[in-house]
Amino acid sequence: MTLVRIFSARRLVAMIIKEFRQMRRDRVTFAMMICIPLMQLILFGFAINSDPKNLPTAVLTADNSPFSRSIISAIQNSLYFKLVKQLTNETEAQRLLTLGQVQFVLNIPVDFSRKLIRGEKPVLLLQADASDPAAVSNAVAAIRLLAGPVLERDLKGILGDLRPGFTPVDLRIHPMYNPENITQYNIVPGLMGVVLTMTMVIITSLAVTRERERGTMENLLTTPVRPLEVMLGKLIPYVVVGYLQMSLIILAARVLFRVPLEGSLVLLYSASLLFIGASLAVGLTFSTLAKNQLQAVQMSFFFFLPSILLSGFMFPFQFRYSF
Amino acid sequence: MTDESTIIDVQGLVKRFGHKTVVNGVSLKVKRGEIYGFLGPNGSGKTTTIRMLCGLLRPDGGSGVCLGWDIIRESTQIKFQVGYMAQRFSLYEDLTVKENLDFIANLYGIRSRREAVDRAIERIRLERFSNQLAGTLSGGWKQRLALACCMIHQPKLLLLDEPTAGVDPKARREFWEEVHKLAGEGITSMISTHYMDEAERCHRLAYIAYGNLLTSGTAEQVVAGENLTTWLANGGNIHALQERLQGLPAWDQIVPFGNTLHVSGKDAETLEKSITPFMAAGYRWTRTTTSLEEVFISLMSRAGGD
C-alpha cells in the first residue's frame, strides 16, 4: 500500500488550476473582480471629498459697511463658503436653510459696524446646517480662524488700539438641527437608507434567479400566470418587508437612540415607497441578468458600493469635481 | 379544425437555437385517450418539441393545433388544458405538499380550491405527507406530487418530460398504472422516456434523433418497420465469439447480455450465412423476436449519431 501524504503539492496545484479554470468560465465574476477595485479607485480618488469647499452660503445683513464687506469677501476667499444669496429678510434665510439650498447663513446684525467701532464686540452669527456635520466642520473651523484677523486691516489709525491680541467680534456658531452634535442623529436615519438598499436589492436580485436555478420558473411558465403577475407578485411582499424594516428603524431611533422625528410621518412613508420601489426594480433587473445566485449577489454589491459611497452616509456629499 | 378525437396535430415543427437546428420538421398526430411515447437519444429534441406543444417555446417553423387551439397564436388557451411535468423536479422544495398544490390550484383559478387539493392528495395517496416540505420527499413521492400538481386543473392532455428518470422500479410501475387509469378516463398523455420497458407500455411511439422524426406507430409497427433479424447465442465464450463475428458481414449490432450474445442484422440471409460456421462450435443459437432497444439503436446509428 502506498503511503498517503498529508500534504501534496500536486493535489494543491490541481485544485488551484481547477479554480482558475472555473474563474475563467464565469465571465461575470471575473469582470466584477476587475471592475470593483477600479470603481473604488475612481470613487475614492475623484468623487469622495472629505474636505468639501464652496458650500452654499447666504448672508443676511442690513449693515452695508466696509467691515461687513471685508468679512464677506474673506469667507469667500477661504474657498469654503460660496455666497449664493445676500438677504435682508430673516424668514427667507431660515427658509433657504430648511430647504437645504444653503448650508450656512451668516448673520451680520444691523448695528454691527457701530458696535465694532465702539469696541463693544458685536455678535457675528453663523448658522450651520449640522445635519451633515462632516461637510460643515472644516468650514466652521475656517471661519473661526478668520473672524479675528480679517478686520485687522480695517482697524487702523485711531482704531489700532483695538487690534492686538483681542478679538474685535464675538463669533457665535449655531449648528442647526443637531446642536449637540449627537452622532446617532446622523447615523440612525442614514442607516434606514443603507438597510433598505441592501436588503431590497439583494433579496429581489435573488428572487427570480432562485426560481430559475431551482427549475421552478419552468413550471411557473407553463401555468396561465402572466409575466406582470409574476413580477408584481415577487415585488409586493418585499415592499411589505421594506416597510417593516423602516418601521423597525424608526421605532429604534425613537426609543433606543431618542432621535427626534420632525415633520410628517405619512410623507416619510409615502416618499419611501419610491425609494423601496426603485431598489426593488434594480434588484429585479439584476435577477433577470444573472445566471445564478452568486452572480446576482455580486451584481447587487456592484450597485451597493457606489450607492453607499456616494449617498453622503459615509462621506459628505460634495464632489471635488462637478460632473 | 381536425376531428374531435385528434388531440395533437402538428406539421413540420422547426426550432433553432442560434445556428443549431434542434427540431427539424417534426410532425405528430396524437389521438384522444392515447399514451404516446416519445423516444430518442439525449439532446435529440424531445424536450424542445414538448415545450413547443405546451406554449413554452415559440416554433420557428411549422404549424398545428393542440386541443383544438393553434399552438402559435393560442398558446395561452392551451395552457389551461395541458398539464406539463418538467424533466427535473420543479416545485417549491420549501413549501409543503399541500402548499404547493394550493399554489398551483390558485394559479389556474380553480374555484373549490380546498376540495381540489384534497382530491389530488387522496388520488396519489399523499395524505401522510401533506404537511411535509416537498424537498424532504423521496424521489418517487416527489414525482407523484409533480404529477398531482400538473393534474390539479383537470387537464385533457398531459405532457410528461422524462417523468420517471431516477425513480425506483416500484414507483415507476405505480406511476404507469396511474397514467393508464387516466387514459381510461380519456386523458391523453405524451411521455418522453429512455426506458424501453416504458416504451412498450405506450399505445403508440415516436422516435426522434437529432431533431428528425425517424419513425412512429405502435411498438409492433415500429419493430416490423425496421425489419431486423435477431439471433441469440449462448454457451461457450461469447466474448471470443463477438470478436470473431465482428469480422464478418451482415451484422448491425452484436451486444452481450450476461451470458447471451444478441446478434441482429437487416439482411437475414447473409446474417444466417455468417453465423452458420459457429453453429457447430459449441454455441447454442436461437432465433428471436427483435426488441425495441435493438430497433432504436439501429435507427440511431443510421441517423448518424454515436
Interface test with A, best of B82, B93, B107, B145 (most A CBs within 10 A): B107
Model confidence at A5: pLDDT above 90: no
In terms of CA atoms, which chain B residue is nearest residue A221?
B56
Residues A209, A313 within the same domain: yes
When CB atoms are compared, the residue of B89, B107, B108 closest to A215 is: B89
Q: Read off the C-alpha cell for B250.
A: 451482415
When CB atoms are compared, the residue of A216, A221, A225 closest to B91 is: A216
Q: Of A176, A200, A233, which residue is a domain's last?
A: A176
How far is A249 from chain B, CA to nearest CA, in Å? Answer: 29
pLDDT digits (tens, 9 = 90+) for B187-228: 999 999 888 888 889 999 999 988 888 888 998 888 888 888
Interface test with B, best of A211, A222, A228, A232 (most B CBs within 10 A): A222
Residues A91, A197 within the same domain: no
Residues A194, A82 within the same domain: no
Q: Of A176, A194, A225, which residue is a domain's last?
A: A176
Question: Which residues of chain B make contact with A224, given a CB cutoff of 8 A?
Answer: 76, 79-80, 107-109
pTM for the structure as a whole: 0.76
Are B158 and B188 in contact by the 8 Å Cβ rule? The answer is yes
How many CB pairs lie under 8 A apart between chains A and B?
Answer: 39
What distances in angstroms separate CA B60 from CA A130, B50, B70, B71, B225, one per listed residue?
64, 14, 14, 12, 31
Question: Which residues of chain A make contact with B109, given a CB cutoff of 8 A?
Answer: 224
Residues A258, A285 within the same domain: yes
Rounded to whole angstroms, the Cα distance separating B118 from B102 reads 10
Q: For the complex shown, is ipTM > 0.90? A: no
pLDDT digits (tens, 9 = 90+) for B267-295: 888 888 887 877 777 788 888 888 888 88
Model confidence at B266: pLDDT above 60: yes
* DSSP assigned state of A46: I
Provide the pLDDT for residue A239: 93
Provide the pLDDT for residue B171: 87
Mean pLDDT confidence for A201-228: 87
Rounded to whole angstroms, the Cα distance separating B294 from A246 reads 67
Q: Kindly state whether residue A24 falls inside one of the protein's structural domains.
A: no
Is A237 at the interface with chain B, CB within 8 A? no
Taking an 8 Å cut-off on Cβ atoms, the answer to whether A222 and B91 are in contact is no
Is A232 at the interface with chain B, CB within 8 A? no
CATH of the domain at A80: 3.40.1710.10
Residues A166, A214 within the same domain: no
Taking an 8 Å cut-off on Cβ atoms, the answer to whether B55 and A215 are in contact is no
Mean pLDDT confidence for B235-258: 80
Element (H, E) at B264: strand B260-265
Taking an 8 Å cut-off on Cβ atoms, the answer to whether B108 and A214 are in contact is no
Question: Which residues of chain A make contact with B90, given a CB cutoff of 8 A?
Answer: 214-219
pLDDT digits (tens, 9 = 90+) for A198-210: 889 988 898 889 8
Residues A122, A239 within the same domain: no
Sheet holding B20-31, edge to edge: B20-31, B6-17, B61-66, B69-70
Q: Tell me which residue range forms the domain holding A64.
A: 55-176
Greater model confidence, B4 or A83 = A83
Residues A213, A296 within the same domain: yes
Residues A101, A119 within the same domain: yes
Taking an 8 Å cut-off on Cβ atoms, the answer to whether B109 and A225 are in contact is no
How far is A33 from chain B, CA to nearest CA, in Å? Answer: 30
pLDDT averaged over every residue in chain A: 83
Q: Kindly state whether residue A261 falls inside one of the protein's structural domains.
A: yes
Taking an 8 Å cut-off on Cβ atoms, the answer to whether B86 and A224 are in contact is no
When CB atoms are compared, the residue of A216, A221, A224 closest to B56 is: A221
Are A294 and A277 in contact by the 8 Å Cβ rule? The answer is no
Q: Of A176, A209, A233, which residue is a domain's last?
A: A176
Q: Considering only CA atoms, give the Rg of chain A.
A: 29
Number of domains into which chain A is organized: 2
Number of other CB atoms surrounding residue A110 within 10 Å = 12
Q: Kindly state whether residue A295 falls inside one of the protein's structural domains.
A: yes
SS3 content of chain A, % helix, strand, coil (to 5): 60, 10, 30
Q: Kindly state whether residue A34 falls inside one of the protein's structural domains.
A: no
Q: Kindly state whether residue A28 falls inside one of the protein's structural domains.
A: no
Taking an 8 Å cut-off on Cβ atoms, the answer to whether B86 and A219 are in contact is yes
Rounded to whole angstroms, the Cα distance separating A35 from A193 reads 24
Mean pLDDT confidence for B37-50: 88
Rounded to whole angstroms, the Cα distance separating B2 from A172 reads 92
pLDDT averaged over every residue in chain B: 86
Provide the pLDDT for residue B191: 94
Provide the pLDDT for residue A320: 46
Torsion of CA B132, B136, B140, B141, to 10 degrees: 10
Question: Which residues of chain B make contact with A222, given a CB cutoff of 8 A?
Answer: 54-56, 79, 82, 84, 86
Q: Kindly state whether residue A8 falls inside one of the protein's structural domains.
A: no
Mean pLDDT confidence for A64-70: 84
Backbone torsions φ then ψ of A293, nearest 5 degrees: -65, -35
Question: Which residues of chain B make contact with A221, given a CB cutoff of 8 A?
Answer: 56
When CB atoms are compared, the residue of B88, B93, B107 closest to A224 is: B107
Greater model confidence, A62 or B218 = B218
